[in-house]
Structures are given as structure tokens and as C-alpha cells.
């Protein structure tokens, strides 16, 4: 009897935590995006964040631009986010985040960007 009760108690405590962890990944990516990316790329990913002025020589990518975002593979995005714009012959206004964000954070951001563009990108 006690044993069953313990198992039920364990399930009741532990299963919701597992579920929360799953739901948490997408929400966490949104938090990371808000904190590190939105000032330039905009809260809605459209590129017009509050730090962008008319003096920017290039505008931060509008992630809802499906045609442009389809030119990038997931690995291209990962590389640009980790190593910055110049690593892909783009502007240094796109900073490198490899020392700030974990691989997991960056994977979450790739998924979020794919949600913004509603596209899968180039394979690879
Ligand atoms: C200080 C402003 C700034 C911040 C902060 C910033 N970016 Fe950028 N980002 C840019 C600019 C400007 C470009 C365009 C570079 C170019 O076209 O040469 C860019 C380009 C990109 C690209 C390449 C898009 C393409 O089509 O090649 C990706 C991907 C990207 N940013 C993701 C992110 C992510 C994810 C974050 C947050 C971790 C972030 N950026 C934070 C300014 C910023």
C-alpha cells in the first residue's frame, strides 16, 4: 500500500516538472531572444528594434522575410549567431554571441527564427 502511494506521489510531483521542461524550451528561447536580439531585430523579429537608427549602414535582418531566410541553412544561422556577421562576410553590427550563449540557447534561437520566417531554410 505505502509503496503504491509513494509511486503515485512521485508521479504527481515529477511528471508536471517533465512537462514544464518541454514547454520551457520554446519559452526560454523567447526570453533569450528578447534579452539579446530584440534591441536590433525587434520583439517580433521584423528587424526594427529600438537600438536601430537611420545611421545603421545595414538593417538587422527581418526574420519574417521568408525568401531571405530560406537562403540560410540552420548551420549558417548557428555560425552567424556564434561568430558574428563578419564570419559570413556580413556587417560587424551583428555581434558574435559564442561566448555569451550556450549551444542549447543557440539551437533554441534557430528554432525561433524558423518560426518567425515560417520556413525550413537550405538543408544542412
Ligand atoms: C547590435 C544589433 C544586433 C543585435 C543585438 C543582434 N543582431 Fe543579428 N544582425 C544585426 C545586423 C545589422 C545584421 C545584418 C548584417 C548584414 O546584413 O550585413 C544581423 C544579421 C543577423 C543574421 C543573419 C541574417 C542573414 O540573412 O544573413 C542572423 C541569423 C542574426 N542576425 C541573428 C541574431 C540573433 C539570434 C541575435 C541575438 C542573439 C542577434 N542577431 C542580435 C544586428 C544585430
What is the distance between the alpha carbons of residues 52 and 36, in angstroms, rounded to a whole number?
A: 14
pLDDT: is 2 or 117 the higher one?
A: 117
77 within ligand 1 shell (Cβ under 6 A): yes
Distance 85 CA to ligand 1 centre (A): 7
pLDDT at 3: 78
**Residue bearing the bigger pLDDT, 26 or 77:** 77
Ligand 1 near 120 CB (within 6 A) = no
End-to-end CA distance of the chain: 54
pLDDT (0 to 100) of residue 23: 65
Question: What mean pLDDT is predicted for residues 16-39?
Answer: 83
Q: How many Å lie between the centroid of ligand 1 and the Cα of residue 92?
A: 9
**Confidence band for 122, pLDDT divided at 50, 70 and 90:** very high
CA of 44 to the centre of ligand 1 (A): 14
pLDDT, tens digit, 9 for 90 and up, residues 63-121: 999 999 999 999 999 999 999 999 999 999 999 999 999 999 999 999 999 999 999 99
Q: Rounded to whole angstroms, how far apart are CA atoms 36 and 87? A: 19
Q: Is the pLDDT of residue 15 over 80?
A: no
Give the model's confidence band at 21: pLDDT under 50 very low, under 70 low, under 90 confident, else very high.
low
For CA atoms 89, 90, 95, 96, the dihedral sign is negative
Here the cell at position 80 is 552567424
Atom of ligand 1 nearest to the CA of 85: 15
Q: Specify the pLDDT at position 19.
A: 60
**Per-residue pLDDT tens for 36-69?**
999 999 999 999 999 999 999 999 999 999 999 9
Dihedral (Cα; 68, 77, 118, 107), 10-degree rounding: -170
Amino acid at each position: 500500500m505505502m509503496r503504491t502511494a509513494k509511486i503515485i506521489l512521485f508521479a504527481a510531483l515529477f511528471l508536471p516538472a517533465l512537462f514544464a521542461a518541454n514547454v520551457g524550451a520554446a519559452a526560454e528561447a523567447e526570453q533569450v531572444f528578447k534579452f539579446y536580439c530584440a534591441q536590433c531585430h525587434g520583439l517580433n523579429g521584423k528587424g526594427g528594434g529600438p537600438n536601430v537608427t537611420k545611421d545603421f549602414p545595414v538593417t538587422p535582418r527581418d526574420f519574417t522575410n521568408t525568401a531571405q531566410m530560406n537562403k540560410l541553412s540552420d548551420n549558417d544561422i548557428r555560425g552567424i549567431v556564434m561568430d558574428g556577421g563578419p564570419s559570413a562576410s556580413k556587417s560587424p553590427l551583428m555581434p558574435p554571441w559564442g561566448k555569451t550563449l550556450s549551444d542549447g540557447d543557440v539551437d533554441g534561437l534557430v528554432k525561433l527564427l524558423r518560426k518567425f520566417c515560417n520556413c525550413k531554410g537550405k538543408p544542412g
